Amino acid sequence: MDFNSMLANVRRAMSLDRSFYQEVAYNERYSQEALMVVIVAAVLTGIGGFLGGVLGGNFGGALIGLIVGVILAVAGYYIWAYIVQFVGKSMFQGQATVPQLLRTLGYAYAPTALGVLSFIPCVGGLIALIGSLWSLVCGFFAVRETHRLSDGQAIVTVVIGWLIVFLITMAVGLVFGVGFLGLGLLVGR
């Protein structure tokens, strides 16, 4: 896998290049690279959260947050692709397959890498939010081009999928958060 080529592809995806999303949807050679984009973005976002936790004096929580965050981000990518495929196909007769969506949505995840800056006081959270929203916009283009939907249909499909992934992530985060809080109370911290 050529790193410079991957960066060029990420730039095309982040610039909302319609032809790029069409190319990726129908070319299986992008599958591994799309997954790599998701993993790199997840790790970078995790590092940002980890640094924030360390600067806040909570190394253990930061380390656990890094590990759980990366796992949740990659799992969320798969869940989002399957939900978007289901919603697009069942509600709007979308044309995409799951592998096609995994490729295009993988590149759409790239802007979430801005989460690496989330540890910066005052502006880090805003930068991470901008990356997440940018990723959502990239997801719209990925779904619209891959499923061959109208703008309105693509918006509904992407937002439904994103909301479901968000709720699942929040639920898992709550379970882990309460569990770690209880563990901290047991060990006297």
SS3 assignment, position 12? helix
User: Over the stretch 34-72, which tens digit does the pLDDT of each residue have?
Assistant: 999 999 999 999 999 899 888 888 888 788 878 888 888
pLDDT over 70, % of the chain: 92
Q: What is the pLDDT of residue 165?
A: 87
Q: What is the DSSP letter of 94?
A: -
161, 45, 56, 49: which is closest to 111 by C-alpha? 45
Higher pLDDT, 188 or 77: 77
The average confidence (pLDDT) of the chain is 89
pTM, to two decimals: 0.86
Average the pLDDT over 23-33 and give the result.
94
Question: First and final CA of the chain: distance in angstroms?
Answer: 45
Choose the weakest-confidence range: 38-42, 73-77, 109-113, 173-177.
173-177
Higher pLDDT, 17 or 2: 17
DSSP letters spanning 122-157: TTHHHHHHHHHHHHHHHHHHHHHHHHT--HHHHHHH
